[in-house]
Structure 1
Amino acid sequence: MVGYIIRRLIQALFVTLLVTMGIFLLLHVLPGGAARAILGPRANAAQIAQFNHDNGLDQALPLQYWAYLTHVIRGDFGFSYKLNQSVGSILAQDIPKTMLLVGLSYAVAIVVAVPLGIYQAVRRNKVDDYALTGATFIFYSMPVFWLGILLIGLFSFTLHLLPAEGPQGENVGDLLGQLSSIVLPVATLSLITIASFSRYMRSSTLENMVQDYVRTARAKGASNNRVLYVHVLRNALIPIITLIGLSVGFIFSGALITEALFNYPGLGLRFWNAALTNDFPVILGIIVVAAFGTVLGNLAADIMYAVADPRVRL
């Protein structure tokens, strides 16, 4: 197990290094260069040269990359001239809020999708299975922004049950104090995730229910509930464990749209506003964080996969 984890850590570090290289190159393919993109079209040649010198952009590319990498390792992602604030401090403010939204969405999706997938597998080819399958196909194929608009129209403007705007505040505590405002953003993210997870859970459960170990357990007199929840459940969860790690990037991209739609003060809304104002240091800083989160999610999925199924370690 230790050797397996070490191999996965080395792979994660290698992927992370490639990610930083890609983001570093993005900085150098900006129209007119980083200096022109940040200072604006009215900057003259002297100002651009001074900016390049102050930020080490007049050095050789390997030296620039090494300086960039050491700054990222220290948590220094640059400076936002639009907001007159370091990107690191901006990320420190917004990351916990986005983690709250994504974490709640993941929790709701897993709690609902796992029993839903099992129920559909048990009731396969019945009317309720067909109805739930149709509903999951609808949610799975629906764009995040369109689902959010539909939820706002139904629960905010028609039924007047929930606020159309997400919770507002400087920290996670402020957001948790406005639970009614966080319902629609969480529902927008979790409904699409539930549709995906439940389909995988249904297929995995059906696949495991016809295995030899299930027939053996039934031949020994085990009840249907014991077979389902003791023997089948653990093996059926293995694809979901992998899916959780692989879907981190998808969830974050959905969070970007969801936060912008509900004016939720997290990384997604910050990225949206930075894109509108050409605040490239903030954009690249958020891309770095999202990439690191995706790599960590995949690493966590690999480790949990090995715990759930010891054969993977071989």
Structure 2
Amino acid sequence: MAGYLIRRLATAIIVVIGITLVTFLMLHIVAPEPALTILGPKATPAAIRAFNHAYGYDRPWYEQFITYLNHLLHGNLGDSPKDNQTVVSLFKEKAPLSAFLSGVSLLVAIVVAIPLGIYQAVKRNSVGDVTATTVAFIFYSMPVFMVALILIQIFALSLGWVDPNVSQDQTLGGALSSWPELVLPIVALATTTVAAYSRYQRSASLDVLAQDYIKVARAKGLPDRLIYTRHLIRNASLPMITLIGLSLPALIAGNVLIENAFNIDGLGLLFVKSLQNDDYNVLLGYTLLTAVLTVIGNLIADVALTLSDPRIRLV
């Protein structure tokens, strides 16, 4: 196990550096000059040169990248000229609310999808299974922002039950004080995840039900309740561990759309504003965060799956 973790961590570092390099090149070669965005189109050449020199944009790209990596080793993601703050301070300010949305929506998806998928497998081809499958396919095929717009139209604009805009208090406590406004974003973010998880759980449960040990248990006269609780649920849920680990970057991407749709002042909305402002350091930091969470999610999923299933050995 220790050797496996060391190899995975070494690979993860290489992957993160590679992703950072590709993003760095894309932003600094393809994107327009940040000085024009920050200072405005009427900025004088002298002001542009001073801005580029102050932030190091006048140096060759490889020197900028080496400097950026050196800053990363010291926990420095650079500064945001537009917000006049460090990227780290911006992330600390915006991350709690985004993490809350992702965490709660993931928890809701797990609690709903796993029992639903198992029920569908046990009641295969029943009315309930066909209905749940149809609904799952509908939501699975819809982008998350479309689900958000539908929820806003029905529950906020038509019925008037909630405010379509979440409280602009930047702290998590301030947002939670108006918790009903967070219901629609969480439901929108969880809906597509439930659709994907339930389909996956149904397929895994059908595979387990077809195994010989299930047939033997039934031949011995073991009640279905015991078969499902002792054999089906645990074995059918093992593949979900990997899927949940791989879902971390998808939730972050969903946050970008959901926070923009509901005007939630989190990391997703910060990313969109940084795209509009060509704020390179924030974009790089967000991409780096996504890469790190992807690697961590994969690693946690592999280790958790190994601990849950003794038949798996990491070599």
Aligned match of 2:288:
288
Cα displacement string for residues 144-201 of structure 1 (whole angstroms, at most 9, x for unaligned residues): 1211111111111222222212233231111222220100000000010000000000
2:139 aligns to what SS in structure 1? Answer: helix
More off after superposition, 63-72 vs 135-144: 63-72
1:184-195 counterparts in 2 under 5 A? 184-195=184-195
The answer to whether the 8 Å contact 1:30/1:37 transfers is: no
Matched, 1:261 2:261: yes
Cα displacement string for residues 24-58 of structure 1 (whole angstroms, at most 9, x for unaligned residues): 22342144555556555444554444444444445
1:49-64 counterparts in 2 under 5 A? 49-59=49-59, 61-64=61-64
The answer to whether the 8 Å contact 2:140/2:192 transfers is: yes
Measure, in 2, the Cα distance between the counterparts of 1:313 and 1:138.
38
Cα displacement string for residues 260-307 of structure 1 (whole angstroms, at most 9, x for unaligned residues): 110111111111222233333322222222222222222211221222
Aligned match of 1:236:
236
Structure 1 residue ranges without an equivalent (≥5): none
Q: Which residue identity lines up with residue 248 of structure 1 in the other structure?
A: L
The Cα of 1:117 is off from its aligned counterpart by: 0.3
Structure 2 residue ranges without an equivalent (≥5): none
The answer to whether the 8 Å contact 2:77/2:87 transfers is: yes
More off after superposition, 159-168 vs 258-267: 159-168
Aligned match of 1:180:
180
Q: Which residue identity lines up with residue 166 of structure 2 in the other structure?
A: G
The answer to whether the 8 Å contact 2:97/2:266 transfers is: yes
Measure, in 2, the Cα distance between the counterparts of 1:165 and 1:114.
31
1:215 aligns to what SS in structure 2? Answer: helix
1:101-180 counterparts in 2 under 5 A? 101-180=101-180
More off after superposition, 135-144 vs 223-232: 223-232
Q: Which residue identity lines up with residue 98 of structure 1 in the other structure?
A: S
More off after superposition, 10-19 vs 211-220: 211-220
Scaled by the length of structure 1, the TM-score of the pair is 0.91
Scaled by the length of structure 2, the TM-score of the pair is 0.91
The answer to whether the 8 Å contact 2:16/2:288 transfers is: no
The answer to whether the 8 Å contact 1:242/1:305 transfers is: yes
The Cα of 1:215 is off from its aligned counterpart by: 2.2
Aligned match of 1:22:
22
Q: Which residue identity lines up with residue 163 of structure 2 in the other structure?
A: P
Measure, in 2, the Cα distance between the counterparts of 1:137 and 1:32.
41
1:29 aligns to what SS in structure 2? Answer: helix
Give the 3 Å change call, closer, same or farther, for CA 38–159 of structure 1 in structure 2: closer
The answer to whether the 8 Å contact 1:77/1:88 transfers is: yes
Measure, in 1, the Cα distance between the counterparts of 2:178 and 2:184.
12
1:237 aligns to what SS in structure 2? Answer: helix
Aligned match of 2:196:
196
Give the 3 Å change call, closer, same or farther, for CA 53–3 of structure 1 in structure 2: same
Measure, in 1, the Cα distance between the counterparts of 2:202 and 2:271.
36
Number of residue pairs matched by the alignment: 314
Q: Which residue identity lines up with residue 230 of structure 1 in the other structure?
A: R
The answer to whether the 8 Å contact 2:20/2:284 transfers is: no
Measure, in 2, the Cα distance between the counterparts of 1:8 and 1:234.
27
The answer to whether the 8 Å contact 1:123/1:129 transfers is: yes
Give the 3 Å change call, closer, same or farther, for CA 299–37 of structure 1 in structure 2: farther
The answer to whether the 8 Å contact 2:38/2:277 transfers is: no
The Cα of 1:92 is off from its aligned counterpart by: 0.9
